Structure 1
Amino acid sequence: MEINDLTPAERTVWEAFPKGRAVDFRVAGEESAAQDTDREAQRTVRAAVLRALLLDGPVESGEVAALKVAGARITGVLDLRYATIESVVRLSDCHFDEVPDFSGAQLKYLNLSGSQLPGLASARVRIDGGLRLTNCRFRGPVRLGGAQVAGALYLEGTEVTAPEGNERPVLQLHQVTVGEDLCASGLRTHGEIRLNGATISGSLRLENAELRHRGDFVLNAEALEVGANVLGRRLSARGRIDLRGARIPGRLDLLYCELSNPGGTAMRASSCVIGEVWLRGGTPMEGRLNLRRSQIEHLNLDPEMLPDQVRLLDLTYTSLTPHVPPELRLPMLERDEDTFDPHGYEQLTASYRRTGDDHAARLVQLAKQRRHRTTLPWYGRLWGHVQDATVGYGFRPMRALGWLLSLLAVGSVAFTLHTPPRLKADEAPEFNPVFYTLDLLLPVISFGQETAFAPEGGQQALAYVLILTGWILATTVIAGVTRTVSRQ
């Protein structure tokens, strides 16, 4: 390209390039390059000129060439497909008329911070440094699928929207590889973010982000792998978040967040391996929460944030906080109406036992038996109700002791009113209704009363009932005491 063909603005950029000098077309008080039509000619730069500079621009010995332009209006398509760019590219606070295309290109560093663009085509781009798209405004899809960024990827404060009727993801980051953090704090999107199969060596930061795509995916991140954390404090998501199969060795931080997808799944984190999940302090989740088959080291979960539908089948966790009464935790197990999952009750029981709260652990086990009872046929449910009423399925042994004392009182009164006849009049001891009833109730201890007297009629039926219930209740009391001693 001949230098005589350049406009004054383009000549300024051309002459600054070899020495890496910055060219700033901005004027104090202006927010973008598109607002002052009177000055557009003074700061308009053709994309073809920038392409010529980056591919075959002038160089000076002892200087590091770089394209550093701020506040320009760039017309035409900046087409750098499959190019190898050795210079730093910084086009900040610029206004692009057409979608720039970096697909398959290799760059040292790319900075488009603060710019307004109709979209971005950069699939499979390779950047040896960082990619900075901070505070950009995209009016169409951003395609970065398969990109390799050796440094960090910055999307902080960026807004990505798409025209009505667009069905493709507005932010395509599937299969990307980021060598450091993916920083997207304050990101605002209206459509799907696709992060399937992405690998991020550092953390994924989504603090204060606003994601909107009601009734559909806002974040589709199946098989996501991060080296540290996924940080989403004060995240607001209206749509579906999908983290199925993600690997997060640090924490999934969703403190003070708002997750909403009424009538669908608000968040699916099934089959994941996560160090810690923090879900506290925000508004109650609207939609379904799915944590099935995941492995979580520490679950920091506020019961008030759980939605009406929770899927926890085969969820495994080591510890659960905060420590609250089991009455607040059990509803999350009962909201998975599709199936009875005994594993969930065992996990909750184990978490209480690790904190030394054996009483809470027993209540969870009792709730497990009651939930299991609803899956049995009528005769099983009947027997279950009997066990529950009498001994609390063995988890309330003192109730069995109360039944023993009640039966002792009934038997003592009944045998006091009518003494059973002696088997051998000359050898029988003096009749004692209390110890005779104890002889019937207690299966091991003998006071010599039961073998000396033979009840008849209704008293004989009462004796059979006392013997049978005595065996059941005494065994329950002994089992309960044994469990208590073994835990201590």
Structure 2
Amino acid sequence: MEIDDLTPAEARVWRAFPRGELVDFRTADDEDPAEGADWGPERTVRASVLRTLLLDGPRENGEIPSLDLSGARITGSLRLQYAAVEVPVRLKNCHVEQVPRLYGCRLRELNLSESVLPGLVAHAVRVDGVLRMTRTRCHGTVRLAGAEIAGSLYLEGARFHAAPDTEGPVLQLNQAVLRADLWAPGLRTHGTTRLTGAGVAGQVNLRDAVLDAGGGTALDAQNLVVGTNVTAGCLRARGLLDLRGARVPGTLDLAHASLSRPGDVALRATSSVIGELWLFAGERIEGALRLRRARIDSLSLDPEMLPDEVYLNDLSYTALVPHHPAERRLPMLERDGDGYVPYAYEQLTAAYRRTGDDDAARRVQLAKQRRHRRTLPWYGRAWGCLQDVTVGYGFRPMRALAWLLTLLAIGSAAFGLEHPAALKPSEAPPFNPVFYTLDLLLPIISFGQETAFAPRAGYQWLAYLLTVTGWVLATTVVTGVTRTVSRQ
């Protein structure tokens, strides 16, 4: 392209390029690039001119060239597929009329901050520095699948809103590789954000972000691998947060978050490996919570955030914080959509034992037996009720002593008022109502009273009752103690 073909605005950009100087067409600092369609020729630059500059622009000895443009209206399509651009590209506060196409392109640096675009096609792009889209607004899809960025990707305050009939996610970062951070606090998306299989060496920051996908998938981050943390405090997500198979060695921070997908799954982190998961101080989750097969070192879970339906089968965690009484933690196990899950009770028991709260651990185990009882046939439920009432399935051993003392008092009082007759008066020992009652209650120990005396009439039925009750009580005690010992 010859210099004579350039408009005055383009000539200004052409002259500034070899020296890397900023060309700022703005007339005010607060002007809105969304109104750039009305900007005149005095600030309009053709994309073809920019392409020529980037691929074969003029150079000056001792100067570092770059394309540094602000407040311009860019017409036409900037096509740089498979190109190698050796200079930084900064198109800030610009109004871009057609979708830039950077598929397979290699760039030194790309800055589209505060610009307005109809979208971006940059699959498999390679950026040797950083890619900035700070407060960028796109009313189409941003395609960065397979991108490789040596620095960070900055999306803070960006707005991505695709048309209702647009196919695919509004922000595509699947299989992308970021050598530093994904920095996107305050990001706003309308549609799906896809991070499937992406690798971020640093952290992912989605604090204060709003991800709105209606009833679809707000964040698809399956198999995401992060070097440190995922910070998503105060996140507002309308749709599914899918973190299946994700690897987050640090913290997955969802504190103060609002997750909503009524009638379906709101948060799924099945088969994920997470250092710390923070789910507290936020609104109650609307939708199901799935943590099946997840491995979490520290689970910070606020009972008030839990939805009506959870899936915790094979979830393992080392610590459950903050410390709450067992009565506040047990309802989440009752809500498990998989029904009775023994492993979930064992995990909660182990968490309490690690903190030294043995009483809470016993309460969880008792709740487990009661929950299991509801899955048994009628005769199993009957036997379970008997164990529960008598000795609390072995977790309330003092109940057995209370029952023995109560029955001993009843029997001693009854037989103390009406002594049973001796079978052999000349050989019978002196009658003792307390030891006689103990003989009836304890099936193994004998004090010689039961064999020497025989009650009559109603007292005989009382003796039968005490004997049967003693056997039942002894059996339940042995069953409970055996269960406790085997668990230890």
TM tier relative to shorter chain: over 0.9
Alignment correspondent of 2:218: 218
Q: Measure the CA separation in 2 of the matches of 1:256 and 1:307.
A: 15
Alignment correspondent of 2:141: 141
Q: Could you tell which deviates more after superposition, 439-448 or 231-240?
A: 439-448
CA contact (8 A) 1:398 1:477 kept: no
Distance apart, 1:38 and its partner CA = 7.3
The code of the aligned residue for 1:162 comes to: A
Alignment correspondent of 2:437: 437
The code of the aligned residue for 1:343 comes to: Y
- Root-mean-square deviation (CA, aligned residues, Å) is 2.2
Distance apart, 1:91 and its partner CA = 0.7
Distance apart, 1:93 and its partner CA = 0.8
Distance apart, 1:461 and its partner CA = 4.8
Alignment correspondent of 1:180: 180
- Kindly tell me: are residues 37 and 448 of structure 1, through their superposed partners in 2, closer, same or farther at Cα, counting changes over 3 Å? closer
Alignment correspondent of 1:88: 88
Question: Percent identity over the alignment?
Answer: 62
The code of the aligned residue for 1:100 comes to: P
Alignment correspondent of 1:402: 402
Q: Measure the CA separation in 1 of the matches of 2:68 and 2:45.
A: 13
Distance apart, 1:339 and its partner CA = 2.4
Deviations along 1:429-477, one digit per CA (max 9) or x if unpaired, are: 1111112112222345443323322445654554344344335535766
Q: Measure the CA separation in 1 of the matches of 2:476 and 2:31.
A: 78
Alignment correspondent of 1:390: 390
SS of residue matched to 1:214: strand
Q: Measure the CA separation in 2 of the matches of 1:450 and 1:354.
A: 49
Q: Measure the CA separation in 2 of the matches of 1:39 and 1:101.
A: 23
SS of residue matched to 2:422: coil
The code of the aligned residue for 1:286 comes to: E
- Kindly tell me: are residues 140 and 456 of structure 1, through their superposed partners in 2, closer, same or farther at Cα, counting changes over 3 Å? same
SS of residue matched to 1:228: coil
CA contact (8 A) 1:155 1:183 kept: yes
CA contact (8 A) 2:395 2:484 kept: no
TM-score by length of 2: 0.95
Alignment correspondent of 2:265: 265
Alignment correspondent of 1:116: 116
Alignment correspondent of 1:251: 251
Distance apart, 1:205 and its partner CA = 0.7
Q: Is 1:375 aligned with 2:368? A: no
Aligned length: 488
Q: Is 1:68 aligned with 2:79? A: no
Distance apart, 1:368 and its partner CA = 0.4
Q: Could you tell which deviates more after superposition, 168-177 or 398-407?
A: 398-407
SS of residue matched to 2:278: strand
Distance apart, 1:412 and its partner CA = 1.7
CA contact (8 A) 1:143 1:173 kept: yes
Deviations along 1:199-230, one digit per CA (max 9) or x if unpaired, are: 11111110000111111101011111111111
Q: How does 1:169-248 map to 2 (within 5 A)?
A: 169-248=169-248
Deviations along 1:58-116, one digit per CA (max 9) or x if unpaired, are: 11112111111111110000000000011011111111000001110011111100000
Q: Measure the CA separation in 1 of the matches of 2:443 and 2:484.
A: 22
Q: Measure the CA separation in 1 of the matches of 2:318 and 2:472.
A: 36
Deviations along 1:373-428, one digit per CA (max 9) or x if unpaired, are: 11111111111111112211111112221111121122223323432332332222
Deviations along 1:318-344, one digit per CA (max 9) or x if unpaired, are: 000111111111110010143210000
Alignment correspondent of 2:20: 20
Deviations along 1:243-282, one digit per CA (max 9) or x if unpaired, are: 1111111111001010000111111011111110000001
CA contact (8 A) 1:397 1:476 kept: no
The code of the aligned residue for 1:302 comes to: D
